[in-house]
Amino acid sequence: MVALPREFPSRYGVPVLRSVEPVIFRQRFFTRCMECSFCHDWCCQFGVDVDRYHVDRILAHAPALERFVGVPRDAWFTGEIEPDPDVPGGESWRTAVRDGACVFLNRSGRGCLLHAFALEQGIDHHELKSLVDGLFPLSFDEGVLGVALEAQTGELVCLNTGPTLYQGMREELRYYFGDELVTALDRLEGESRAA
C-alpha cells in the first residue's frame, strides 16, 4: 500500500482516499464492456451495492424506470440496508438478483438498463449508477483505493487483457475524485514502472 500525498474526498464528500494498492497499476482487464464477446455480463450476476445518494436518484425516476426496465420498483432492491459511513448517503442498498442476474441487466441485449435509461433521457449516467458500480473493478475500503474482490481472487472473467485497472478507470476516478487525484496516481504509476 502506498500513501497518497493528501486525502482525496469524492465529489460527494465520501469516500475519502488516503492510499492506493499498487496492483491497480499492473493488473489488466478488458475495459470496453459493450464490445466484449466472452463474458456474457458475468459481473452482473450478483447485483450491485448502491449508495443511498444514488438510490434516491433512481427512485426519483421510478415511474419512467418501471416502464423502461419492466420490473416494479418494489422488486429493484433486496430490502437489506447496511449502514456505511464511507458511501454517499451513509448506507448501502443491494440490487435484487432476478433470473440469475441484477434486476437492471438488459436481458434483451447487453449492459445496464440504468445506463441505457440515462442515455435515452439525456441524463449523465453517473446520476443513476452507484459509485461502487462506476468504479468497478476498482474498489475502496477504509481510505484505500484497490481492486474489487472479484479481481483479487481472479474470478473476474475479463482480467489479464487490455489496459491496467488504473488506466481503464482513470477518467471515472477523475469524475469522482478530481484532477488532483489523477495527477497523484499518474505520478505513482510512473514510480511503480520505474521500480
Question: Each residue of 127-162: pLDDT tens digit?
Answer: 999 999 999 899 999 999 999 777 677 666 556 677
- Sorting pLDDT into bands at 50, 70 and 90, what band is 43? low
**Entry pTM:** 0.91
Q: What residues contact 193, with CB distance under 8 A and at least 6 apart? A: 25
Residue bearing the bigger pLDDT, 42 or 56 = 56
- DSSP annotation of 96 reads P
Amino acid at the residue 63: P
Listed in order, strand segments (DSSP E) in 73-182 are 77-83, 91-95, 97-98, 101-102, 138-141, 144-147, 159-164
Cell 445506463 appears where? 115
165 in Cβ contact with 27 (< 8 Å): yes
Cell 477518467 appears where? 171
Domain hosting 48: range is 2-194
Our CA dihedral for 15, 18, 23, 24, rounded to 10 degrees, sits at 50
Predicted local confidence at residue 36, as pLDDT: 45
Nine cell digits for residue 82: 447496511
Nine cell digits for residue 12: 460527494
Predicted local confidence at residue 192, as pLDDT: 84
Average pLDDT of the segment spanning 159-175: 89
Given CA atoms 65, 102, 143, 1 in this order, what sign does their dihedral have? negative
Predicted local confidence at residue 150, as pLDDT: 75
As for how many domains the chain has, the answer is 1
